[in-house]
Every structure is written in C-alpha cells, then in structure tokens.
Homo-oligomer: A and B are copies of this chain.
Amino acid sequence: MERTHTNGELRLSDTGKEVTLLGWVAKRRNFGALVFIDLRDRTGITQLVFDETLAEQIKDVRNEYILQVSGTVLERKDKNPKLATGDIEVKVNEVSIINSAETTPIIVADDTDALEDTRLKYRYLDLRRPIMQNKLMMRHKITHSMREYLDSKDFIEIETPMLGRSTPEGARDYLVPSRVHPGSFYALPQSPQLYKQLLMVSGFERYYQFARCFRDEDLRADRQTDFTQVDLETSFLSDVEIQTMMEEMLQKLMKDVKGMDISIPFPRLTWEEAMNRYGSDKPDNRFAMELQDITELFINCGFKVFQDCIANAGSIKAVVVPDKASMTRKEIDKITELAKKNGAKGLVTLKYLNGEVSGPIVKFLSEDEIHALIERLTLKENDLVLIVSDKWRITCEVLGALRNHFGSLLGLKKKDEFSYLWVTDFPMFEYSEEDGRWYAMHHPFTRPRDEDMQYIDTDPGKVHAIAYDVVLNGYELGGGSLRIYDGAMQDKMFEVLGFTEEKIQENFGWFVDALKYGTPPHGGLAFGLDRIAMILSESDSIRDVIAFPKNANAKCPMSDAPTPVDEEQLQELHITITEKE
C-alpha cells in the first residue's frame, strides 16, 4: 500500500480508481453509521468515507492524526465547489494510523483567532494551516522565478561572508565575539555591499545572491532581526540597462507567481517629482489623490501662516479627499494629530459642501482666492481639502502621510492590485542639522551624476545620485545605484561626508585600495525578498512569509531565543555580562 496520489489531486475523471492517500485528519464527523474524514496534506484536502466495518479501527482517530488509507474514488453526491477535489470522495477499505495527536493548542484551519505570540510559540502548528503553507510555497515560487531569470542572464550566485567586519556608518551591527582573537568581534553583514563591489573588481561581471542580512534595529511589522535580500551587481551596464533587466525579472515574476501580465517599462519618477506629487519617495500609485501645489494662489494672502510660509520660500500644498467633508470635528482633530506626528506645525482643513468652501481659515481668504482654489483643485461636492504650508520637504511628507492614511481609509489600496514604478535621481546627500554634517542618502559608494559634480564642494545638496528604487504599492521593494569606480572620486565623497583620512583608512582602506587596480564601471540593486513575498501573498506582515520569525520584541516565542548561556561559554569568548534582564 503505497501513496498513489496527493490530497489535492483527485478529480471526477479519477472515479473508480483504487488509490492510496496519506495525510492529517483535518475534520471528522459521524453521519449515522458512516464516518467522514477530511484528509489534508500540503496540496489540499480529500474527503474520505469509512463505513461501519472500519468503525472500530478508527474509533480513536481525531484531528491531526496521521492516516494512510486505500480505497476507491467515488463521485460525490453533495459536491463542494469550494474544494479542488470537491467532486469526489474516497470510500476507504483499508486504513492504517501512522501517528496519533494530542489536542492542538491552536486550531489548524485558515481562520484563527489565536494571538500572534501563541501562533509563534506553536509555529509548527500555525504553519500547518493551509493559508500559511501557501504563503511559504509562494515564497519559494518567487525565489525560483527570480533565480531562473538571473541564471538566464548569466548572473552567477556567489556567497559572501557572514562573519565580517564592523563598520561605523549605517545601522547598528550584530556583533559576534571571537574566541580566537580576544577582545575582537565579527559583525553580521548588514548587506553584502562592499563584497559585491569587490566581486565586480574581480571581474565576475554579473553576481547575485539571496543574502541573509542583519540590522540590530527596533522591530516593526515589516522589520525583522534579519531579512533576506536579493542582492545583485553588474559591470559595464548603464542605470537604464540595469533597470530594464529588473523590469523583465519582475514581469516574469508576476506572470510565474500571480499569473498576471504587467507592462514594462514601469513609470519613472524623479525623487523630486515623487515628493511633489505623492509626498513620498515610495509613492503608492494604486490611487490618485495627488498633492497639488497651491503656493501661487496665496502670494498676496491675508492669512499670516501662508504669508510666513511664502516669505520663507516654503510650499503650500493640498490634497483633496473625496466624500469626506462630513468628517466630525473629532475625526479632523485626529487627522491634525497625524499631521503633527509627521512634522507639521498645523493642518488647514476645508470642506466643500453645497457649493461653499467652509473652514476656520476661510475668513482670512479673499473671494478670489477661494474661487481660484475651487477651480485649481476642481473641487466636487463633499470634498475635504487638506492644506499644509511649511518648508517644501515637510509640506510634501506630511501630506504624503495623510494621503496614505486616506488611501487606506477609503479602501483604495487593493491588495490584489500591483503597481510598480521607479523613483530615480535621489539627492546624493542629506544634511543633518543635528550632527551638522552631510550624510550619504544611499551610501558613500553611490556614484553622483557627472553633471552635478560641479556642485560637490560648494553646494552638495544640489548633487544627485545615480540611484534608483523600485516601488510596489507604496513599499520600497528594492534600491540600487551605479557605484563610484575611481579612487579620486571616492576620496572626494568621503571628504564631503567629513571622514578623516584616518577614519577612511581604518574603516574602508581595504576597500578603497581595491579601486586602484582596474575597477570596472558597475552598479546593482538589492530587493527585499520578505517584502516581495509579503505583498505578492497579500499578507499584512512579513512575519507571515517567514517560517520562524522573531516577535516585535526580537524574541522567538518557540525556542525562547535569545537565552542566558553558561558562564563557561562567555569565558571562552573573553567577555562578561554587565547587566541582566
């Protein structure tokens, strides 16, 4: 008696066949002298029927027992159209119990009301739920599809070190004390950035890796202690050539995994345009509600806030939310709160009801201004208008956050709609008022646009990077850039970032040296695999597409990691604990 079929396989055309199935009991119900059992494996569910001759043998069988059964495929009287195998059932004539099961602490079914920590504690049962199995199987399909594309383009997968060197820039490193070198530490990689560039120096031309990366940051719904990056790098290609390949890869991915045809090239927005229109460097363009610049309407405005804003070279922008003029004072207070949380000093709201604009600031506006506003924003009955006036970037970001908020609230973010775009021409540097220095917006190895190099000493804020992000449904799916490939330009970059010669030598000397020996022009990209899997599987959290994730407290509720360890282990590592939980 050897398994002949899986539980997702049998159809009406199999009627009459003798089959052997294996799987878990998903449901058992008695019906007179008959017993019906739904048998589950990773491919689906098949209904089994046992008559009284087998009653004794299966009397103890209940949910999550493992059975092997042989029997005959019969057409079902009550067909179940929701089930792929719903046209048939198997009349069992032989059964063997492979293993028994205690009552499970969580119910093994798609719908669950278990708390997430309970689900993570019994993850092996949580993953038995078909919905979860399908998510991980989709993740596999995704990696398979991407690998297939990259292999077809002669990319080579190369593994880079997991135990690397700690570097001061960027996020916080996870450290690993060395037993052999007392007082020294390895760092787990935040990304294979320098290694993949060195592989280009080595002449590999096209590299990829599904790389585990680590950042010791506080966790959120879409963050984990470690994550998987689809990391790639190429030599001798332009930014557009790289982007085109990635578009092809994602087009194939959508076809392979979702059966959807998407068109390429994706829309391209410069960073400035993305900020202006969506208030975000990762715009969700599944819905419109774009930001509209209305600064010019208020050049001679009597409203002091607008006056000051314009005097300080700021921007006044608006977002129109349809059908929300009926919001209560309380609801609007909440929106104002959200605006402030995102950096606004205040939020102006206007309602357009019965052909009239109303709102606290209306009294400060002229008839002409109100009329111009209605026209400019093409207001419709029941529109709610959100206006922010501040420095350009703050105005954009605040309205971007509000736009996102209302996009969700109005149900405009359809999970089964997938909208890709590129954001390009990022600023090379960001100035930190707090630290009084420039930071690299991507990283210090990003190549600036040639035509902007004239500003690098005098006005670094004007320099754009040849950097690009792929955005899907408001998530940054991946990002990359062309890289600097000559030492002099790299030195200049470090200079703008205020690195001392000593710091450069100490931290990056080993890398910068490599640029001297015939480095090819190169550039690449890295995708967040967890995010791709989350979005394509239409999940709410990346934890749903990771087999054994950490909770928001960086703990694994199943194994309890991290844990205290033996004193002896610490001694061998030449460290001691200064504080205990």
Residues of B within 8 A of A244 (CB): none
Residues of chain A at the chain B interface (Cβ within 8 Å)? 3, 22, 24-25, 40-42, 64-66, 98-102, 104, 123-125, 127-128, 133, 136-137, 139-140, 143-144, 147, 151, 156-166, 168, 172-188, 195, 198-199, 201-205, 212, 214, 216, 225-226, 228, 236, 485-486, 510, 514, 516-521, 546-548, 550, 553-556, 558-566, 569-581
A300 CB to closest chain B CB (Å) equals: 53
A-B contact pairs, 26 of them (CB 8 A): A24-B203, A41-B205, A42-B203, A66-B519, A99-B521, A124-B514, A124-B517, A144-B151, A160-B547, A162-B188, A165-B556, A165-B560, A175-B176, A175-B565, A175-B569, A175-B570, A177-B177, A180-B553, A182-B579, A183-B577, A186-B561, A187-B561, A195-B547, A510-B559, A575-B578, A576-B576
Most buried by B among A25, A40, A162: A162
Q: Are B158 and A140 in contact (CB under 8 A)?
A: yes
A243 to B143, CA, bound (A): 26
A282 CB to closest chain B CB (Å) equals: 25
Q: Are B562 and A163 in contact (CB under 8 A)?
A: yes
Which residue of B is nearest A188, CB measured?
A: B176
Q: Are B559 and A162 in contact (CB under 8 A)?
A: no
Number of copies: 2
Given the known interface contacts A156-B140, A165-B562, A510-B560, the answer about A127 and B184 at a Cβ–Cβ threshold of 8 Å is no
A269 to B486, CA, bound (A): 58
Q: Are A186 and B562 in contact (CB under 8 A)?
A: yes
A168 to B40, CA, bound (A): 37
Residues of B within 8 A of A577 (CB): 182-183, 574-575
Q: Are A166 and B128 in contact (CB under 8 A)?
A: no
**Interface SS of A by simple majority:** loop
Q: Are A226 and B41 in contact (CB under 8 A)?
A: no
Given the known interface contacts A140-B158, A198-B124, A212-B162, the answer about A172 and B517 at a Cβ–Cβ threshold of 8 Å is no
Q: Are B156 and A64 in contact (CB under 8 A)?
A: no
A521 CB to closest chain B CB (Å) equals: 7
Q: Are A99 and B559 in contact (CB under 8 A)?
A: no
Q: Are B125 and A202 in contact (CB under 8 A)?
A: yes
Q: Are B175 and A177 in contact (CB under 8 A)?
A: yes
Query: Of the candidates B198, B516, B548, which one forms a contact with A123 in the assembled complex, judged by CB atoms under 8 Å apart?
Result: B198
A505 CB to closest chain B CB (Å) equals: 12
Residues of B within 8 A of A143 (CB): 157
Q: Are A216 and B179 in contact (CB under 8 A)?
A: yes
Given the known interface contacts A160-B547, A548-B160, the answer about A517 and B576 at a Cβ–Cβ threshold of 8 Å is no
Residues of B within 8 A of A558 (CB): 510
Q: Are B137 and A156 in contact (CB under 8 A)?
A: yes
Most buried by B among A41, A147, A176, A572: A176
A486 to B514, CA, bound (A): 56
A125 to B510, CA, bound (A): 13
Q: Are B214 and A561 in contact (CB under 8 A)?
A: no
A442 to B266, CA, bound (A): 53
Q: Are B99 and A555 in contact (CB under 8 A)?
A: no
Most buried by B among A137, A201, A204, A212: A204
Sorted nearest first, the 7 A-B pairs with minimum C-beta distance are A101-B518, A183-B580, A127-B202, A165-B561, A64-B518, A184-B562, A178-B562
